């Protein structure tokens, strides 16, 4: 054999042996060293994880009546990622599905497109990687057809799911308080990548407002995982294992459905009454609160809406209606987010401030028809003069000029337009002590803080708006002048004054402040809390709607206790004096007409009217009350914007609520004996709810 040929054969043999050794080594590595890892990878190629959403907990009223619960429904969903891999983008599948569901492909395509600022509803606001529901009221026969012919409907899922339901017990809604759910977005998922820690999954609905948002972690539960076997076509052939979801806990609230319904009916009736009289009444709110604890019994807002509109996707028209001004922006809770000047209901703070500033609680003061504040005369309502009187009478007849005097003289002592180094500002200080100008801390999102104007606020506001104000001082208001020359001239004169010295805290600012006018803004809930502090002897409670969280098996997770209240820095004798004065308002004062025929012998109610003037709009009507007077238990406040006087529109609404609560004038009592249950409702194993022991079912 040729030596060269022999050497080549030897090299070839060595190469072949080396390759075999490498192959054997690789096989050893795959099968022995990393065998377990690759067996798991192979298994995962035929096993898919399906997230099983947990059943969300209910929201109950204080008696156990469901305000929000779940119903089972056949839901058809579309996996957009599966459709996107098809040659036609899933058009053929959507066409077949549309025929089955009795709709159009175009409608389905709208429902599965992703929402953005430029995309109109219906659209999908959640993650693009989760199944998108397109119908939650599917006929069982149609759902069975989809499930049995899975090969004709790739990427389409039909299954039974829990869907939110709003039963409206006793006719109550509480839509803004309950809130609503929306799918979790991909951005939110990206922030919560560790699902074991956060409990979120791609199929989750999360609370976007109200109690659904505040107590989302309790209500949501924990999603489960189902491992299913699939073939090469992605079709499910079996189940490899399952970790069941943990149902969410239920939230018991302090709301009473009957009182809530009465409050909603009362303020809606007040708006209709005002409109029938020719006003432009556009919104209203009512608050019913336990004066001793801060527990919220009712929280009503008008206009309202049906929260079930969010279920199954919302149309653009429905979405615009919820946000648009044409229907009054019903998503806004006027009770905790609406800001209005409180008018004379604010005088409980002004009386306390004046006494704290040195004025005699039992003194006699003149109540002329007008009072000179600087170079301007400030008038009583309709210019009425009432002669000399004590502060008790001043509250009953709502004399403004006495409070103008207190405020103007305090302004002068503080240095007037050239204030001393540390002005006392007694009116502002006392208002803040009553909780005005800051959030109450209620367990609901989006609460407004209100506004207590002072020298600092006015300067900051002037600096923020002076460019526009000074421009208007030069150019005027030509658009307004076309239709209302007198108003345009007035606005220009105001702009000229504000451009030059808009930062100055003037005597008129102080005078208006004392009667809850000018730039003072409060929410109905803030006013209710202030009256609760008056009624309970000086405790500034923190409002709470949530009462307790209960597991599906009925065991208590935790009670939701309000924080400790702050003490109002007002002498108890002053508070008692104000309470006695307000007890006469519904009998002989500004609310006497509204309470004519009221059964005071069964429950004595005290209160204060307020009529706030708003430039360019109708008056805002208020009535703030508490009762029974001897042992105050509840506070009831109502507000009707752009309606008229408080005694004409707000006070009758409050009377209606009191009568419903205590069963007066032939009505059936919503709160027999004027009491709320002191025990929690019971959740039974079958999912039903039992009323607390000792209460009516």
Using the predicted structure, report yes or no on whether residue 202 has a pLDDT greater than 90.
no
Residues 343/516, Cβ–Cβ less than 8 Å: yes
**DSSP secondary structure code for residue 364 in this structure:** -
**302 and 215 share a domain?**
no
518 Rama class: left (phi>0) / alpha (psi -120 to 50) / beta: left
pLDDT at 80: 83
334 Rama class: left (phi>0) / alpha (psi -120 to 50) / beta: alpha
pLDDT at 287: 98
pLDDT at 697: 42
333-337, 350-354, 479-483, 505-509, range with the lowest pLDDT: 479-483
Do the domain assignments include residue 118? yes
Using the predicted structure, report yes or no on whether residue 400 has a pLDDT greater than 90.
yes
Do the domain assignments include residue 313? no
**183 and 277 share a domain?**
no
How far is the C-alpha of 691 from the C-alpha of 683, rounded, in Å?
9
Average pLDDT over residues 262-277: 98
Using the predicted structure, report yes or no on whether residue 504 has a pLDDT greater than 60.
yes
Do the domain assignments include residue 696? no
Residues 526/432, Cβ–Cβ less than 8 Å: no
**465 and 402 share a domain?**
yes
Which structural domain, as residue segments, surrounds residue 496? 363-425+444-514
Do the domain assignments include residue 23? no
* Half-sphere CA count of 74, side-chain side, radius 13 A: 14
H or E stretch including 100?
A: helix 91-101
How far is the C-alpha of 662 from the C-alpha of 672, rounded, in Å?
6
pLDDT at 204: 64
**DSSP secondary structure code for residue 544 in this structure:** B
CATH of the domain at 180: 3.90.1310.10
* Half-sphere CA count of 141, side-chain side, radius 13 A: 2
**196 and 52 share a domain?**
yes
The helix/strand/coil state of 537 is coil
Strand partners, 637: 287, 624
pLDDT at 458: 94
Peptide bond into 303 cis (omega under 30): yes
Compute the C-alpha angle 632/678/668, nearest 5°: 65
Do the domain assignments include residue 186? yes
For residue 275, what are its two tokens?
């409109």
**400 and 453 share a domain?**
yes
Residues 125/115, Cβ–Cβ less than 8 Å: yes
Using the predicted structure, report yes or no on whether residue 521 has a pLDDT greater than 70.
yes
Alpha-carbon separation of residue 337 from 448, 450, 578 (angstroms) = 5, 9, 28
Do the domain assignments include residue 17? no
For residue 7, what are its two tokens?
């050497």
**141 and 239 share a domain?**
yes
Instruction: State how beta strands 250-253 and 59-60 pair.
Output: parallel
**262 and 117 share a domain?**
no
Give the pLDDT band of residue 1 (cuts 50, 70, 90): low
Longest Cα–Cα distance in the chain: 141
Going 340 to 343 to 344 to 347, the CA torsion angle's sign is: positive
H-assigned helices in 400-506: 401-413, 426-433, 455-475, 478-483, 485-501
pLDDT tens, 350-375?
999 999 999 999 999 999 999 999 99
Using the predicted structure, report yes or no on whether residue 378 has a pLDDT greater than 60.
yes
| Cα 188 → chain centroid | 21
pLDDT at 200: 40
Using the predicted structure, report yes or no on whether residue 696 has a pLDDT greater than 60.
no
- Sole residue written with tokens 């009667």: 515
3-state per-residue secondary structure call for 240-307: EEEECCECCCEEEECCCHHHHHHHHHHHHHHHHHHHHCCCCCCEEEEEEEECCCCEEEEEEEECCCCH
3-state per-residue secondary structure call for 586-607: HHHCCCCCCCCCCCCCCCCCEE
pLDDT at 391: 98
More confident residue, 691 or 271: 271
Going 692 to 181 to 443 to 626, the CA torsion angle's sign is: negative
Using the predicted structure, report yes or no on whether residue 174 has a pLDDT greater than 50.
yes
**158 and 267 share a domain?**
no
**336 and 419 share a domain?**
no
Average pLDDT over residues 463-476: 92
Which residue in 59, 136, 120 sits closest to 310, CA to CA?
Answer: 136
pLDDT at 189: 60
Give the pLDDT band of residue 199 (cuts 50, 70, 90): very low
pLDDT at 198: 36
Instruction: State how beta strands 546-550 and 539-540 pair.
Output: unpaired
Which residue in 429, 400, 403, 402 sits closest to 414, CA to CA?
Answer: 429
**95 and 151 share a domain?**
yes
Average pLDDT over residues 591-614: 97
**190 and 276 share a domain?**
no
pLDDT tens, 227-252?
767 665 555 566 777 888 889 999 99
For residue 559, what are its two tokens?
């009670």
CATH of the domain at 587: 3.40.710.10
Most confident among 17-26, 140-149, 334-343 (mean pLDDT): 334-343
Average pLDDT over residues 202-227: 84
**What's the domain count of the chain?**
3
Do the domain assignments include residue 335? yes
**DSSP secondary structure code for residue 647 in this structure:** I
Cβ neighbours, 10 Å, residue 504: 17
Average pLDDT over residues 93-115: 90
Crossing angle of helices 524-536/572-583, nearest 10°? Answer: 110
Mean pLDDT score across all residues of the chain: 88
Average pLDDT over residues 19-27: 78
**375 and 497 share a domain?**
yes
* Half-sphere CA count of 616, side-chain side, radius 13 A: 7
Do the domain assignments include residue 321? no
Per 3-state DSSP, the chain is made up of helix, strand and coil in percentages (nearest 5) of 40, 20, 40
More confident residue, 582 or 102: 582
| First and final C-alpha spacing in the chain | 109
pLDDT at 195: 41
Average pLDDT over residues 128-145: 80
How far is the C-alpha of 268 from the C-alpha of 257, rounded, in Å?
16
537 Rama class: left (phi>0) / alpha (psi -120 to 50) / beta: left
- Sole residue written with tokens 């609370």: 207
Using the predicted structure, report yes or no on whether residue 48 has a pLDDT greater than 50.
yes
More confident residue, 383 or 632: 632
pLDDT at 235: 56
Calculate what percentage of the chain has a pLDDT beyond 90.
Answer: 61
**DSSP secondary structure code for residue 48 in this structure:** E
Instruction: State how beta strands 283-290 and 250-253 pair.
Output: unpaired
């Amino acid at each position: 054999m040729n030596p060269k040929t022999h050497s080549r054969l030897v090299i070839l043999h060595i190469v072949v042996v080396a390759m075999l050794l490498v192959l054997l080594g690789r096989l050893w590595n795959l099968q022995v060293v990393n065998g377990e890892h690759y067996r798991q990878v192979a298994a995962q190629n035929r096993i898919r994880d399906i997230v099983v959403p947990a059943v969300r907990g209910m929201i109950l009223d204080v008696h156990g009546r469901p305000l929000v619960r779940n119903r089972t429904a056949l839901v058809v969903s579309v996996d957009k990622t599966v459709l996107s891999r098809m040659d036609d983008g899933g058009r053929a599948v959507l066409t077949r599905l549309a025929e089955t569901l009795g709709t159009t492909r175009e409608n389905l395509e709208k429902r599965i497109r992703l929402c953005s600022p430029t995309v109109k509803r219906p659209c999908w606001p959640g993650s693009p990687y989760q199944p998108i529901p397109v119908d939650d009221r599917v006929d069982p026969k149609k759902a069975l057809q989809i499930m049995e012919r899975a090969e004709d409907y790739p990427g389409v899922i039909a299954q039974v799911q829990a869907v939110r339901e709003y039963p409206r017990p006793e006719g109550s809604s509480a839509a803004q308080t309950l809130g609503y759910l929306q799918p979790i977005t991909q951005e939110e998922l990206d922030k919560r990548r560790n699902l074991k820690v956060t409990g979120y999954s791609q199929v989750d609905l999360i609370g976007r407002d109200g109690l659904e948002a505040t107590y989302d972690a309790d209500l949501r539960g924990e999603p489960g995982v189902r491992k299913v076997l699939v073939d090469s076509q992605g079709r499910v052939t079996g189940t490899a294992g399952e970790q069941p979801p943990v149902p969410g806990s239920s939230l018991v609230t302090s709301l009473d459905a009957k009182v809530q319904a009465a409050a909603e009916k009362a303020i809606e009736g007040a708006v209709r009454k005002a409109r029938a009289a020719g006003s432009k009444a556009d919104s209203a709110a009512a608050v019913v609160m336990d004066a001793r604890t801060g527990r919220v019994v009712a929280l009503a807002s008008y206009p309202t809406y049906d929260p079930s509109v969010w279920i199954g996707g919302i149309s653009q028209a429905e979405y615009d209606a919820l946000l648009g001004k044409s229907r009054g922006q019903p998503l806004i809770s006027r009770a905790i987010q609406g800001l209005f000047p409180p008018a004379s209901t604010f005088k409980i703070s002004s009386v306390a401030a004046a006494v704290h500033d040195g004025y005699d609680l039992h003194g006699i003061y003149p109540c002329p028809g007008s009072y000179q504040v600087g170079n301007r005369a400030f008038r009583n309502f309709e210019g009425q003069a009432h002669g000399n009187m004590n502060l008790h009478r001043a509250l009953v007849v709502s004399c403004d000029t006495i409070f103008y005097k207190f405020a103007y003289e305090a302004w002068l002592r503080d240095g007037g337009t050239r204030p001393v180094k540390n002005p006392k500002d007694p009116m502002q200080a006392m208002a803040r002590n009553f909780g005005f100008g800051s959030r109450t801390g209620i367990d609901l999102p989006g609460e407004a803080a209100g506004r207590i104007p002072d020298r600092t606020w006015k300067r900051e506001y002037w600096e923020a708006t002076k460019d526009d104000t000074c421009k208007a001082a030069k150019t005027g208001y030509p658009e307004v002048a076309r239709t209302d020359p007198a108003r345009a001239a007035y606005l220009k004169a105001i702009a000229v004054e504000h451009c030059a010295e808009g930062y100055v805290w003037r005597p008129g600012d102080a005078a208006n402040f004392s009667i809850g006018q000018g730039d003072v803004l409060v929410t109905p809930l803030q006013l209710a809390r202030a009256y609760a502090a008056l009624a309970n002897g000086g405790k500034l409670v923190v409002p709470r709607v949530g009462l307790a969280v209960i597991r599906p098996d009925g065991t208590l997770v935790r009670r939701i206790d309000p924080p400790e209240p702050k003490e109002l820095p007002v002498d108890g004798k002053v508070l008692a004096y104000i309470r006695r004065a307000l007890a006469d308002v519904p009998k002989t004062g500004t609310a006497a007409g509204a309470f004519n025929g009221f059964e005071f012998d069964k429950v004595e109610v005290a209160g204060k009217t307020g009529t706030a003037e708003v430039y360019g709009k109708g008056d805002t009507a208020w009535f703030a009350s508490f009762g029974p007077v001897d042992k105050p238990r509840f506070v009831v406040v109502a507000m009707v914007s752009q309606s008229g006087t408080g005694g004409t529109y707000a006070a009758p609404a409050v009377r209606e609520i009191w009568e419903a609560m205590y069963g007066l004038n032939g009505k059936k009592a919503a709160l027999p004996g004027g009491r709320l249950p002191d025990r929690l409702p019971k959740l039974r194993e079958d999912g039903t709810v039992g009323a607390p022991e000792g209460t009516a079912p």
